[in-house]
Amino acid sequence: MIRSFSFMLIILTINCAYIFGNSTKKVNVLFILADDGGFEMGAYRNRICQTPNLDRLAKNGLLFNKAFTSVSSCSPSRAALLTGMPSHQNGMYGLHQGVHHFDSFGDVRSLPQILKEHGIRTGIIGKKHVGPEAAYPFDFSETEENNSILQVGRNITHIKLLTRQFLNNSTGQFFLYIGLHDPHRCGHTNPEYGQFCQHFGNGEPGMGLIPDWHPIYYQPDELQLPYFLPNTWQTRLDVAAQYTTISRLDQGVGLILQELKASGHENDTLVIFSSDNGIPFPNGRTNMYDTGVQEPMVLSSPLHPQRKNQVTNSLASLLDVVPTITDWFGIDGTEKNEPVLTGKSLLPLLVKEPADKSKEAVFGSHNLHEVTMYYPMRMVRTQRYKLIHNINYYSPFPIDQDLYLSPTFQDILNNTIMNKNTYWYKSLQQYYTRPEWELYDLKYDPEELNNIVKKNSSSYVFKELQQRLSDWQKRTNDPWICSPHAVFEDTGSFKSNPQCLGLDNLW
């Protein structure tokens, strides 16, 4: 009996060491990020889209049912992921691109900076889409900044070779971040390759050839459409093209994991897979509804076999990535007077499921996508409820350029103009026009169609979530904390007593 107890104590001590970074074992991290990817995986019960490599990764790790991005937009999401701070706190308010030049604040400290200071080699392959360079410095960098994004983001043979190059030249600990560009739309910028670049590299005349990619084509009438998409032929054609590029992403993940194994690091590397935001369809990307912010996520740890092939329903956020990775490397996240991050390490979930999830919450902060798309929103989501604050609610909800040109949106738009059935679960009028506050009971209304904010029976929940959201905004220094009905003053005579000063616009 004593021997059994001693053995259990040793195992518990080892597990705790791995959780809290006290192990002397040299460990590494491989982070793989899809671009606008959703739940098109067998592991998430999609029976049509073929994803054997992602499914194998899920079986070898912990699958998250309730993981969320903090902002449903490419650059803001990536900046939040790499800093642990929401977009209003790190300064990446919209898309980082040449024309409009959104950047994070110059003094922001990101994951590659933190890891570099601790002697950990960092690398990025594929889509970066954040800046400035000084805030996101990787030791090894093969991105759209020095390559064609099609080559470093979609050419999985090239990505495989770049992964091999990085791993073969890493003698110490490493963090490798691979930003696959699939299944992002490309019909807006490269229409010759199809809506999702599904023809790029498939061997057809003029399309080039990606040697390691074996395209899978889907019959539109056999697809499982998500509930929030219109059930039309145009949408089915659109989703079929998306599925084909999911096959490229999946096969790329398989090649990357093969390179990890060949390098001898399969048994000392934490592998994380997720996506930056919702899929590029109506009600998806740029929205704070679950269809815009809920993400696939897998954590596969060689040091935690007890959670392999299991599922967690605990709430997780991409704001948790920095605390998780620094925890994995045993780095104290409170050093150098850095801002206190509101995310948490996910490593304890690799040991056991929390007994009580009732107090869990994730938060969201959206300001812009493209520069013309000013529509600030804040969100708090618990296990049961979702509260969205639409700060610019007098304005119609904006539509981004590549979504606008998509067959799915054009079909909705044209059918609406001609007063025809859109076969969608919303009307465009409902989609464009939103109230200031939206409150949903996700237990009874998972589709987020029944706004209960004005119900007397919901007043307590509304006030409680408003307070939680306000507290989070204060902790993260949100400049929009008083908007839209007041002006925030925190300088001069208000320096020691910041206040929201009311405006005469309370109608």
- What percent of the chain is helix, strand and coil (3-state, nearest 5)? 35, 15, 50
Locus of tokens 């950990």: 120
Residues 49, 74, 186, 482: which is the catalytic one? 74
Burial pattern 384-406, b for ≥16 Cβ within 10 A else e, equals: ebbbbbbbbbeeebbbbebbeeb
Give the pairing type, strands 437-441 and 28-34: unpaired
DSSP string, 448-479: -----TT-GGGHHHHHHHHHHHHHHHHHTT-T
Show Cβ contacts of residue 146 under 8 Å, excluding neighbours closer than 6 positions: none
Give the type of residue at 108.
V
**Residues in CB range of 69: below 8 A, 6 or more apart:** 77, 80, 81, 275, 276, 277, 278, 293, 295, 317, 318, 364
DSSP state letter for 176: E
Which of 162, 143, 145 shows the shortest CA–CA distance to 153? 143
Tokens of 273: 């897979």
Q: Which residues pair with 489 in a beta bridge?
A: 499
What is the spatial distance between Cα 339 and Cα 69, in angstroms, rounded to a whole number?
20
Which letter, b or e, does each residue of 422-442 get, where b requires 16 or more Cβ atoms within 10 Å of its Cβ? bebebebeebeebeebbbbbe
Q: Report angle CA 270, 276, 282 to the nearest 5 degrees.
A: 150
Does a cis peptide bond (omega within 30 degrees of 0) precede residue 484?
yes
Q: Does 74 participate in catalysis according to the annotation?
A: yes
Which residues are part of the catalytic machinery? 74
